[in-house]
Amino acid sequence: MTSTITNTATDTGTDTNTGTGTGTRTSTAAPPWRTALHRAKRACSRPDPWKRGPLLTALALLLGLFLLLHARIPNRIGNVGSLVETFLPWFGLFVPVLLAGALWRRSAAALCALLLPVTVWLNLFGGLLGDKSHAGGDLTVVSHNVGADNPDPAGTARDLAASDADVLALEEITPQAKPLYEKALAKAYPHHTVQGTVGLWSKLPLSDTRPVDTEQDVGPLGDAKPADVTLAATRALRTTVATDQGPLAVYVAHLGSVRVVPGDGFATESRDRGAKALAEAVAAERNERMVLLGDLNGTMDDRAFGDLTARMDSAQETAGGGFGFTWPAKFPIARIDQILVRGVRAQGSWVLPATGSDHLPVAAGIDYR
């Protein structure tokens, strides 16, 4: 009598036993539709790329609005608005940081949100990324805050004379350094004037020279000072340079310093007062052709210079290459040394090598229109 027993077990495979004592196990793979369904479930369980990185998205939008509405930041508390505008280009550094975070989180929303700050920053400063300078110019002008603590005034003067500028403006001249500058520059510049702490050296004749009141000392104490004391503290002048194309009014100015004071914020009162007085002097200038040279202790993005920039153009912005930062000399982070023009055209604008000062000199080629 022959007996055959067959057991079939099904889970993920099949066991088949025959009476002959031989066992066979067969594994069968899951159907393709089941694998596809499992993958789809896993994909759906992951966060949507448009929902990832909500904090990064919010920060990108806030940065864009911050740059777009920087002029609306109030100055009522600690002059925060002016402080922000002084270093406004540097806020663009947050863009690559946020971009790296968006890529790491694979956040489509954050990447799209970054388009706002990028667009605004490029609209504000994109024009400074290229080089707009042209060779030549009827006149080369140089301005330099030589620094009251400059250890080598004579060496600084020789470096500036090597620039071959036609007109050279110096700010922060001390009584001790004045004869050193005059001696070192006498050969290259036969004409010069010094009014208080600012001076102008020229290869061309000067006339109608006078100090300009930037209201550095105000109130009864300022009014009560003797003339010689007032003159010693003068920080701005106006003169006329006789060029082959006609008279050119040249202003040299060194506005009041600014400080970040704990508890008080960005202290700019003296600077702002001087900027207003200087703008009034420029508005009253009868010569349509004029150049303003000097350390204004502020960038042209600062709202304090709105009246001035409404009447004059920055040589760096119209004919320079890059931001042209000038301070501090060892690691410049802001352009507070300016060359502004009216009635003439800046052909080129550049920064000269460091001297013994904590500022870098600035230069521009000027063309008559």
Ramachandran bin of 136, using left for φ above 0, alpha for ψ from -120 to 50, beta for the remaining angles: left
pLDDT at 111 over 70: yes
pLDDT at 189 over 80: yes
Q: What is the pLDDT of residue 46?
A: 57
Task: Tell me the per-residue pLDDT of 247-286, one tens digit each, with 9 for 90 and over.
Answer: 999 999 999 999 998 888 999 999 999 999 999 999 999 9
Q: What is the pLDDT of residue 9?
A: 42
The Cα 275–Cα 106 span in angstroms is 48
- pLDDT band per the 50, 70, 90 thresholds, residue 369: confident
The Cα 361–Cα 159 span in angstroms is 10
How much is the pTM?
0.84
Q: What does the pLDDT average to over 286-301?
A: 97
Q: Which amino acid is at 332?
A: P
Q: Which residues pair with 239 in a beta bridge?
A: 250
Give the whole-number percent of the chain exceeding pLDDT 70. 85
Any residues with CB less than 8 A from the CB of 180 and at least 6 apart, and which?
A: 153, 154, 157
Say if strands 236-243 and 259-261 run parallel, antiparallel, or are unpaired: unpaired
Identify whether the C-beta of residue 229 lies closer than 8 Å to the C-beta of residue 217: no
- pLDDT band per the 50, 70, 90 thresholds, residue 16: very low
Q: What is the pLDDT of residue 14?
A: 45
The Cα 299–Cα 82 span in angstroms is 9
The Cα 115–Cα 59 span in angstroms is 12
Average predicted confidence (pLDDT) for the chain: 89
Task: Tell me the per-residue pLDDT of 191-204, one tens digit each, with 9 for 90 and over.
Answer: 999 999 999 999 99
DSSP label of 369: -
Rg of the Cα atoms in the chain: 34
Give the whole-number percent of the chain exceeding pLDDT 90. 78
Task: Give the chain's count of helices (H) and strands (E).
Answer: 13, 17
- pLDDT band per the 50, 70, 90 thresholds, residue 236: very high
Could you tell me the strand order of the sheet in which 198-202 lies?
191-195, 198-202, 167-171, 139-145, 362-368, 344-351
